[in-house]
Amino acid sequence: MSILKAKSVELPNGKTITFKRSKAPWIILVLLICFYYSVQITGFDMQVLAKRIGQFWVIIGDMIPPNWKYLNKLWQPLFDTIKMSLLGSILGAVFALPLAYFASSNMIKNKSVVAAFKFILSLLRTLPTLVAALIATFIFGIGTMAGTVAIFIFTVAYVGKLLYEQIENADLKAFEAMHSMGHTTISAFRCAIMPQIMPNYLSNAIFCFEGNVRYAAILGYVGAGGIGLMLNESLGWRNYANVGMILLLLVVTVFIIESISEYFRKKLM
């Protein structure tokens, strides 16, 4: 057990100092055990990978060149996807504000209310978007509405969590001063807290929208509308040239949206 023994050094003045014992060997051991069992459970096999990885490149090869004729069928679903994520993100970001307000412990003094709202937010966040979309297609029927709802739920949970953390970390001096001069809590919140959290709030909402476009692209897989439907169809028919076209369009769209969002987020900061 020599690697686990703490090192000690004797200083010139006769004092001995023992170093903190490193936990690294234990962590590595635990990781190795997890690794071993994960390999067993998932059937990870390098030989299979080495032998059959060619298939992967075959599919990629089929995607190039993409089927350009397919492009004019794609605009409508692409815009559906963007609309879905835009509406879901805007509504989600707006609804996140009151939820975050009730979930921040420095605004609401009632501890059980705060705990309840925090719990709701984290519960919503655990629901993977695709699962939410799947459930939504059962409730709202197949189409873009289901996708919008799924994105809305994710945005509320994500922006809401970041927002209540910011409200809790906000500087309360101005808020308290306004309170003491007779502002109501809501108007003091609007004038003293909102300016502090606004840049981060908007930046998070834009960032969330950016991610949502990417997520919305796959929501069609469960029937929630948008370009995912076309993707699913082309994958089903093994028409990889069409898949390549969809992916190319998606990459370009996401790149444009990402650049715009990065520009605005840099301005906000």
Partner 1 sequence: MNSIEKQLLNEPKRIVQNVITAVILLIFIMWSLTAVDLSNFTSNGLAIAKNILLGIVTPNTDLLFTFNTNGVPYLLVETMAIAFLGTIVGAILAVPLAFLSASNIVPKPIAFLVRLFLILVRTIPAIVYGLMFIRVTGPGPFAGVLTMALTSIGMLSKLFVDVIEDLEVNILESLESIGCTPFEKIRYGIIPQLSAMFMSIVIYRYDMNLRDAAILGLVGAGGIGAPLIFAMNGYKWSEVGSILIGLMVLILIVELISNKIRNKLVRGY
**Least distance from partner 1 to the Cβ atom of residue 141, Å:** 3
Assess 32 for contact with partner 1 (CB under 8 A): no
Per CB under 8 A, 115 contacts partner 1: no
Q: How far apart are CA 155 and CA 95, in angstroms?
A: 9
Q: Which residues contact 269 (CB under 8 A, 6 or more apart)?
A: 199, 203
Minimal distance, residue 91 CB to partner 1, in Å: 9
Does residue 194 touch partner 1 according to CB under 8 A?
no
217 in contact with partner 1 (CB under 8 A): yes
Q: What is the 3-state secondary structure (H, E, C) of the chain?
A: CHHHCCCEEECCCCCEEECCCCCHHHHHHHHHHHHHHHHHHHCCCHHHHHHHHHHHHHHHHHHCCCCHHHHHHHHHHHHHHHHHHHHHHHHHHHHHHHHHHHHCCCCCCCHHHHHHHHHHHHHHHHCCHHHHHHHHHHHHCCCHHHHHHHHHHHHHHHHHHHHHHHHHHCCCHHHHHHHHCCCCHHHHHHHHHHHHHHHHHHHHHHHHHHHHHHHHHHHHHHCCCCHHHHHHHHHHCCCHHHHHHHHHHHHHHHHHHHHHHHHHHHHHC
Q: List the interface residues with partner 1, window 39-98 (CB under 8 A).
A: 39, 41-45, 48-49, 52-53, 55-56, 58-60, 80, 82-84, 86-87, 90
- Its sign, for the CA torsion 259, 262, 266, 267, is positive
Question: By CB under 8 A, which span of 8-16, 95-103, 105-113, 123-131 interacts with partner 1?
Answer: 123-131
The window from 7-15, 162-170, 192-200, 249-257 that contacts partner 1 (CB under 8 A) reads 249-257
Q: How many amino acids of this chain bind partner 1 (CB under 8 A)?
A: 61
> Residue 44 or 68: which CB sits closer to partner 1?
44
The interface with partner 1 within residues 132-191 (CB under 8 A) comprises 134-135, 138-145, 148
Chain centre to alpha carbon of residue 53: 30
Stretch that binds partner 1, among 98-106, 170-178, 182-190, 217-225 (CB under 8 A): 217-225
Beta bridge partner(s), residue 8: 18
Least distance to partner 1, CB of residue 116, Å: 15
Least distance to partner 1 from the beta carbon of 48, Å? 6
* Cβ at position 81, least distance to partner 1 in Å: 9
Residue 44 Cβ vs partner 1, minimum distance, rounded to whole Å: 6
| Binding stretches for partner 1 (CB under 8 A) | 34-35, 37-39, 41-45, 48-49, 52-53, 55-56, 58-60, 80, 82-84, 86-87, 90, 122-123, 126-131, 134-135, 138-145, 148, 214, 217-218, 221-222, 225, 228, 231, 235, 243, 247, 250-251, 254-255, 258
